[in-house]
Structure formats: C-alpha cells, structure tokens
Amino acid sequence: MKFFVDTAEIDDIKDLNALGIVDGVTTNPSLIAKSGRDILEVTKEICSIVDGPVSAEVVALNADDMIAEGRKLAKIADNIAVKVPLTWDGLKACNVLTNEGHMVNVTLCFSANQALLAAKVGATFISPFIGRLDDLNLDGMELIADIRNMYDNYGFETQILAASIRSANHMSDCAAIGADVATAPPAVIKKMADHVLTDKGLDGFMKDVAKANIKIV
C-alpha cells in the first residue's frame, strides 16, 4: 500500500520523504490556509520535494470552472493530481481532465455508488472518507472493502485512496482490506511505529546495557 501524507506543512513532508516512505501528498484549501501562504506557491514547493502524485484541490463548484482551475493547477508540475469533489459537476470535470491526460483525485466519497461513478469517468484516484463515516457510527472500512470488491470484479484501474484517516489502526486495516493508497497526517504515520511492548523491551535492554557498561563505539 502506498503512503500519502495529508498535509501542507513543508517541514513534515521533507522529514517523512527523507525516510523514504512518502509516495505522494494530499492537500486541500483548508490545509494550505493554515500555512498562511499562497496556494499555488505551496503546491509548487511540495511538488519539488516529492516525486509521487500531489493532490491539489479546485475551489469552484461548477464543471466549467473546475476544469479551468484544474488545467491551471496541472501546469504547476507533472506530478499534480487535480482534486475534484464527488458531485455531478465534479464527475464532468474529472472526465474532461482525465481525457486531457491529467491525473484526477475524486474526493469526498461516502458510498460505493459514488465510487463506481468515479471509476466510470476515469478517475485516477477515488478518496473514500473513513473517519467521517465512523463519526456517524457507520463502518468506513466496510466501504473500502465494498469498493475493492467492485473494482476487482470489473477491472477498474481507479486507485482506492483511503482518506480521513484518524488512527494507526486505520492504516493497517486499509492495507489488510486492499486499499491502494492511504493518506494520513504526519502524526498518524509516525504513530504507526509505537507499541507499548517495544517501549518496555527497549527499557529492559537499556537497563542491561547500563548495568554491563556495554559500548559499541
């Protein structure tokens, strides 16, 4: 499963990218607004850091304006994936932009029907929002499983990009179900390394090292 980092914070992206685990980045206007910087400037800098897809979201609501914004965003770098909402106008924009050769990430997906439509119009990525479904006492992972099964049944090439990731368990669950990509905040990705037994074992090792005065260099 590919890891995308869901942030517009440059330092966090550089940190994780240096570790070799970042396959792409997802952003949105809300994330970029927190930086206080221009959306095009931030997006261009992110694209220069990572080799994989960088999702940059349109802000228009009608298809023609989404297409115009998508074309402008796509000019920033070759690895831009234009992000459009899963509305009827968003699907229209996805179809046009895909046919022009651009990567498109269709976001705010909350049902298998929506995911099917996105695949039919040629989306590069479909972004089901796990955490927001869980907030409504619905099973976000069940949606991932339904989309995986449906796409495999018919050979759709659209990649399942699990979004709205809230926990380290969400990441491993997505991988087990078969999501192609999971995008998560830096803190969640780093949390995947944590385990109480690892901490306990390391504490025991270090006590033994100190007692035996062991030195490597």
**What's the pLDDT at 46?**
96
**Quick one: average pLDDT of 80-85?**
98
**What's the pLDDT at 47?**
97
Give the pLDDT band (50/70/90) at residue 193. Answer: very high
pLDDT of 99 over the 80 cut: yes
2-192 CATH fold: TIM Barrel (3.20.20)
CA angle in degrees (0–180, nearest 5) for 104-110-114? 60
pLDDT of 186 over the 90 cut: yes
Give the pLDDT band (50/70/90) at residue 209. Answer: confident
**What's the pLDDT at 31?**
84
pLDDT of 182 over the 80 cut: yes
**What's the pLDDT at 210?**
86
Domain ranges of the chain: 2-192
Residue listed under structure tokens 């926990």? 167
Exposure string (b/e) for 156-177, b if CB count within 10 Å is 16 or more? Answer: bebbbbbbbbbebebbebbeeb
Exposure string (b/e) for 100-131, b if CB count within 10 Å is 16 or more? Answer: eebbbbbbbbbebebbbbbbebbbbbbbbbbe
Instruction: Render pLDDT for 115-161 as a digit per residue (tens, 0 to 9).
Output: 999 999 999 999 999 999 999 999 999 999 999 999 999 999 999 99
* Higher pLDDT pick, 33 / 93: 93
Q: Average per-residue pLDDT in the chain?
A: 95
**What's the pLDDT at 153?**
98
Instruction: Render pLDDT for 14-63 as a digit per residue (tens, 0 to 9).
Output: 999 999 999 999 998 888 888 788 889 999 999 999 999 999 999 999 99
Instruction: Just list the catalytic residues.
Output: 83
